[in-house]
Chain A
Amino acid sequence: MAITKKIIANHGLNTEEYKNIQKLLKRDPNLLELGIFSAMWNEHCSYKSSKIHLKKLPTKGKHVIQGPGENAGVIDIGDNDAIIFKIESHNHPSFIEPYQGAATGVGGILRDVFTMGARPIALLNSIHFGSPAHPKTKSLLNGVVSGIGGYGNCIGIPTVAGETKFNETYNENILVNAMAVGHAQKDKIFYSRAKGVGKSVVYVGSKTGRDGIHGASMASAEFDDNSEEKKPTVQVGDPFTEKLLLEACLELMKDDSIIAIQDMGAAGLTSSSVEMASKGGLGIELYLEKVPCREENMSPYEMMLSESQERMLIILEDKKEEKAREIFKKWDLDFVVIGKTTNTKYLTLKFNNKVEGEIPIDALASKAPIYERKWIKKNLSKNKIEIKKLKKIKIEDALMKILSSPNHSNKSWITDQYDQMVMCDTVQRSGSDAAIIRIHNKDKAIAVSVDSSANYCKSHPLTGGKQIVCENWRNLVSVGAKPLAITNCLNFGNPENNEIMGEFAECLQGIKEACEFLNYPVVSGNVSFYNGTNKKNIFPTPVIGGVGLIDKISNPINHNLKMSESYILIIGKTFGHLEQSCFLRENFSINDGRPPKINLLNEKNNGEMVFKLIKQNLVLSAHDVSSGGLIVALCEMAMNTNFGIKVEKPKKLGNFEEYLFGEDQGRYLIEIDNKNLAKVETILKNENVYFEKIGKTQKTYFEIEGEMKCSTQDLFKMNNKWYNNY
């Protein structure tokens, strides 16, 4: 078949790239080879637009065992325990078929984690939908939530935390990011680097069908109105088979049979074989007639590009084949030797002894294109919002409006659909600042949280990038964890657009600065470009997933108030920054203005102080102050308890709205028992940390002096209304 311009374009390659392929091969590629180049060179696999920016991120640290570049990142939590984690997007497939898209997103990220030898112990997700009023939103929400639950519940891994947001920017392009966290023995971690010539390449798991052929290319192309026609490429998830694959792999990993192992994710057999060979500086030869197929008459092209789920590629040590085969047989899974490693540094594809394709490995990996795309800096907004000129609104009304808004409503309608308790190590379920998962059979735990702030990032990407890292850090600190490392999922629009590329570059700069300052390295991640339809790009939405360590779970803490007559302190200074706040957004539909400033030094000092106080058992409950400001954070502390708070009117600040709803960063609320108050105040003064005593807890009523008083029950009702009525 002659390679025409149209075929090249259909493979998402431009003319330059095609010429480059001809040069690297010193001839024209055939269709199979073109398909393989297209899969390896697309944005999803090659990171061609993002690589030069990603390189700037801090990826090393005392706790880091493995940074980006492997299936997932690995950190050391002491006692030979390692935590392996990663976040990944499945945006485009989920928009087309929400249930299967979300389900296979969960399945894919789980494989990334157990490929490395970890037993997955927690799932998290960050999902963004369009406006609730948009006709597609409701069914997308339903589909995605049941897909996430369907997969996680069935495979038996608790889904413990997440965030769900609505914004019309996602009307035609939702975001579904899934994060998996696993636990492994530090001396039993498996990597994807092939070693040794003549070693067996083994295919395990499900059979190969025509699922998702060119899925990775789809994930790298903007949607247009015909995107619904690309539907046949959507994969179906089979969590039951994944459970078998998980158990079989972990069983095989008990000894040293495995040299290298790689999940067949995006671009399936192609990327898994190329990556293993590339990392090992080897070649790989595959006998495609041996690939277990679900359909009849599958071509080498289809086999190499299929994205059927629940499959792995393993390079086995000599003489281990029979034992390994037995294990997979026990779990009723396919186990077939489909090739061997070579010293040719070529990917050689044979079908019934005939060579169908031959490509130098480095042409697919290290020589894949890298672009330094043009980008434009975004300045801080100069539009001043005159708060005093706004229509006067009652504090109570403004608060209720926020509490009952889709973005701030209680999410138990969602989280009740996820098994959060299976594995019996969930110390803190969702609904808190961070979830807490005990390390099995130990008395230590990890805290995990995912966060994003697309509005801040849109307004000023540099500040937004810093802010999400800080917010994620604060969430872990608030449950008494020491934040160790993050994974990031970078959801952006079209990188060929200079403004979008600017959003990307600057968000990344912000993430970098915050991570460096807080000593909070990035150990894994994923980039998802081309989120948008017909030239309308989504808001820049980097999502941060953080992991922290709690070295003793004897006294885990959350944000629920614990008693009455205790004191509420706010750590960090309140300036009353209302621009970009949800107060203005929900009550006045104002989306303009600058995001709150980030002061990294204060973030660090305040966070470390709160962590120290929690460790000394001086804090009853703690909560970070974020979207909605002080008053919303206070409500969140009271709402699920029988206790309320009486907030005194501050003496200094003029405008009460600014004080209560301002979204200044670096702040925490802590509840302190009366008997510890003097001690805590002394510590805070000695360490020069800014704090205010803002009120006391009381039974039943939530009260702002001279402004409002209502029962915490009413707050709860208001907060639980939206989802049940949607």
Chain B
Amino acid sequence: MTLKKDVLDPQGKVVQNTLANLGMSLKNIRQGKYFEIELEETDHGKAEKIIKQMCEKLLVNLIIEDYRINKL
């Protein structure tokens, strides 16, 4: 979960500057959140659907945030 591309990310901005000041060069950094979710569901498609629901109903603030689902 990260802030949408067009949305200002004040935290990312400060972290980026600090890393640069510490001599570590980088092009861009976006701050986000990460959840590990374990399901009973074994079907990949169904599981993704459930997770998607969780994201859109609660975990993600769709107004300002984007999300990606990865299988571990």
Contacts and interface: CB of A to CB of B under 8 A. Distances in A.
Direct contact of A and B (CB under 8 A): yes
Contacts of A16: none
Nearest to A241: B10
Contacts of A235: 8
Interface string B37-67: 0000000000000000000000001111000
Contact of B10 (A210, A240, A295, A332): A240
Contact of B64 (A100, A209, A309, A332): A100
A96 interface: yes
B72 interface: no
Given A234-B63, A236-B9, 18 more contacts: A97-B61, A100-B64, A209-B6, A209-B7, A211-B7, A211-B8, A231-B64, A232-B4, A236-B10, A236-B64, A238-B8, A238-B10, A238-B13, A240-B10, A240-B14, A295-B6, A309-B8, A332-B17
Nearest to A97: B63
The dominant DSSP class at the A interface is loop
Nearest to B62: A231
A378 interface: no
Contacts of B3: 236
A332 B6 CA distance: 22
B17 A236 contact: no
B11 to A, nearest CB: 9
A308 interface: yes
A374 interface: no
A267 to B, nearest CB: 18
A294 interface: yes
Interface in A522-561: none
Interface residues of B, number: 15
Nearest to B3: A236
12 contacts: A97-B64, A209-B6, A211-B8, A231-B62, A235-B8, A236-B3, A236-B8, A238-B8, A238-B10, A238-B13, A240-B10, A308-B8
A679 to B, nearest CB: 59
Interface string B1-38: 00111111110011001000000000000000000000
B56 to A, nearest CB: 13
Contacts of B9: 236
Interface in A157-212: 206, 209-211
A241 B64 CA distance: 19
B29 to A, nearest CB: 14
A97 B65 CA distance: 12
Contacts of A211: 6-8
A97 B8 CA distance: 14
A295 B28 CA distance: 12
A206 B10 CA distance: 10
A97 B61 CA distance: 9
Interface of B: 3-10, 13-14, 17, 61-64
A143 to B, nearest CB: 10
Given A97-B61, A97-B64, A100-B64, A209 B8 contact: yes
Contacts of A210: 6
A234 B7 CA distance: 9
Contacts of A240: 10, 14
Among B3, B8, B10, B64: residue with most chain A CB under 10 A:
B8
Nearest to B9: A236
Contacts of A309: 8
A238 B5 CA distance: 16
Interface in A613-655: none
Contacts of B6: 209-211, 232, 295
A231 B9 CA distance: 17
A589 to B, nearest CB: 34
A236 B3 CA distance: 10
A410 B65 CA distance: 35
A613 to B, nearest CB: 50
B7 A236 contact: yes
A264 to B, nearest CB: 14
A236 B10 CA distance: 8
Nearest to A230: B63
A239 to B, nearest CB: 8
B63 A96 contact: yes
A181 B61 CA distance: 33
A97 B9 CA distance: 16
B12 to A, nearest CB: 11
A604 to B, nearest CB: 48
B64 A234 contact: yes
A97 B17 CA distance: 28
A187 B8 CA distance: 37
A238 B11 CA distance: 9
Nearest to A99: B61
Contacts of A332: 17
A332 B8 CA distance: 17
Contacts of B10: 236, 238, 240-241
Contacts of B61: 97
Contacts of A236: 3, 7-10, 64
A236 B63 CA distance: 11
Contacts of A231: 62-64
A234 B64 CA distance: 8
A229 to B, nearest CB: 10
B37 to A, nearest CB: 22
A152 to B, nearest CB: 16
Contacts of B8: 206, 209, 211, 235-236, 238, 294, 308-309
B53 to A, nearest CB: 18
Interface string A217-237: 000000000000001101110
A85 B17 CA distance: 34
A210 to B, nearest CB: 5
Interface in A70-124: 96-97, 100
A330 B14 CA distance: 15
B58 to A, nearest CB: 11
A34 B63 CA distance: 27
B57 to A, nearest CB: 13
A295 B6 CA distance: 7
A206 B6 CA distance: 14
A369 to B, nearest CB: 32
Interface in A231-285: 231-232, 234-236, 238, 240-241
A236 B5 CA distance: 13
Nearest to A295: B6
Contacts of A295: 5-6
